[in-house]
Structure 1
Amino acid sequence: MSALLNFDNVTSYYGATRILKDVSFDLEDGQCLCVLGRNGVGKTTLMRTIMGLTDRSTGAIRVNGAEIGGKPPHQRAPYGIGYVPQGRGILSDFTVRENILLGTFARADKAPEIPEICLRIFPYLKDNLERRAGLLSGGQKQQLAIARALAVGPKILLLDEPTEGIQPNIVHEIGEILKMLNKELGISLILTEQHIKVARKLGDAFLMVDNGRVVARGPIAEMTDELVERHMTI
């Protein structure tokens, strides 16, 4: 496997405050990388830094060897990055169709139609394209957020707390969809996660973050209960 995304000594700021501190890691092609840690330690900032959504960052961020760290957010998606933010970022007054089509604006080919994969994976969305997004349940909104990110045509999919606030049976369903995207379609995933079971089921590798720094990393099999206890228990 070759490194698809490379973080090299990245420090990221909001104003003058350092949130991420000298973070380095590689995302291999076809890998699922789980980013774990307590609330407020920098996991969301890591995702936002990849997308260029913090005030500034130093260090190198590369996709397939191309430096993207100095580029504004709208110039990063065409490198093949889809983003499902924490809270989902669904536009409630837009229809399901309109929300998904927003993702196509960032496609490298600018194709203005809903990709077939979005409708094949999410039959509920296919049957409710004209429904106002604000009327969907939490799990349905998460499906919509993933579909919108897939409309970018990503090689890398970033998911910030994809199972947060979703009922247990839907957590399982979302997990199965992410596993299929990763293992069958070959889309590389980075996901922040509080559910240890979900991380262990989906992940190939993990990063444990504490106070803006990576404090542990490795294959998912090396994410011991002791590490979880030390860095995730309140």
Structure 2
Amino acid sequence: MSTLLNFDNVTSYYGATRILKDFSFEMQKGECLCVLGRNGVGKTTLMRTIMGLTDKSTGAIRINGTELTGKAPYQRATYGLGYVPQGRGILSDFTVRENILLGTFARADKAPEIPELCLRIFPYLKENLDRRAGLLSGGQKQQLAIARALAVGPQILLLDEPTEGIQPNIVHEIGEILKMLNKELGISLILTEQHIKVARKLGDSFIMVDNGRVVARGPIEDMTDELVERHMTI
């Protein structure tokens, strides 16, 4: 496999405060990388740093060898980054259709139409394109957030706590969809996750984060119960 995303000694700031500190990792094309750790250790900041949404970052961030540091978020999206933020970021007053179409603005081909994939994997959305997004349930909003990110035509799908606050049957359904996107369609995934079972089911590799630093990494089989207890229990 070839290296798709490279983080080299990245430090990321909100104001003058360092959140990520000398953060380094590589991600291979087609991989599912799970980012784990307690709340408040920097997982969301990692996602926002990749997208260029923090106040400042130093170090090098490269996708397919192209340097992203200094590029605006909308420019980064055109390199194939689809982002599902924590809290989903759905525009409640927009329809389902309008929310998904927002993702198409970053497409390389600029096609202003909903990709067939989005409607095929989320039949509820297909049947409710003109429904106001604010009326959807939490699980349906998460489906919509994923569909909007897929409308970018991403190489890498970034998902920040994709199973947070969702009922167990929907967690399973979303897990199966993410697995299909990764293993069958070859879309690389980076997901922050609190559910260890979900991470072990979906992940090929993991990064354990504590206090803004990488404290452990490796193939998902190396994520032992002892490691989880040390860095994730409160």
TM-score interval w.r.t. the shorter chain?
Answer: over 0.9
| 2: CA distance, partners of 1:160 / 1:3 | 22
Give a deviation string over 1:66-116, Cα, whole Å, max 9, x none. Answer: 001110111100100000000000000000000000000111111100000
C-alpha deviation, 1:120, in angstroms: 0.4
The list of structure 1 runs, each at least 4 consecutive aligned residues, that deviate by more than 4 angstroms after superposition, is none
| 2: CA distance, partners of 1:62 / 1:139 | 33
Amino acid at match of 1:226: E
Aligned length: 234
C-alpha deviation, 1:175, in angstroms: 0.2
* Number of the residue aligned with 1:75: 75
Note the 1:109-124 alignment, pairs <5 A: 109-124=109-124
SS at match of 2:141: helix
* Number of the residue aligned with 2:229: 229
Amino acid at match of 1:104: T
Note the 1:1-234 alignment, pairs <5 A: 1-234=1-234
C-alpha deviation, 1:218, in angstroms: 0.2
SS at match of 2:149: helix
Amino acid at match of 2:135: L
| 2: CA distance, partners of 1:191 / 1:225 | 19
| 1: CA distance, partners of 2:125 / 2:8 | 39
Amino acid at match of 2:46: L
TM-score relative to the length of structure 2: 1.00
SS at match of 2:144: helix
Amino acid at match of 2:194: Q
Amino acid at match of 1:125: L
Amino acid at match of 1:194: Q
| 2: CA distance, partners of 1:88 / 1:108 | 23
Amino acid at match of 1:211: N
RMSD (CA atoms) = 0.3
| 1: CA distance, partners of 2:129 / 2:219 | 40
| 1: CA distance, partners of 2:100 / 2:62 | 27
SS at match of 2:78: helix
| 1: CA distance, partners of 2:26 / 2:96 | 34
Give a deviation string over 1:26-82, Cα, whole Å, max 9, x none. Answer: 110000000000000000000000000000000000000000111011110010000
| 2: CA distance, partners of 1:91 / 1:14 | 25
> How many percent of aligned residue pairs carry the same amino acid?
90
- Structure 1: gaps spanning 5 or more residues: none
Amino acid at match of 2:71: K
Give a deviation string over 1:169-201, Cα, whole Å, max 9, x none. Answer: 000000000000000000000000000000000
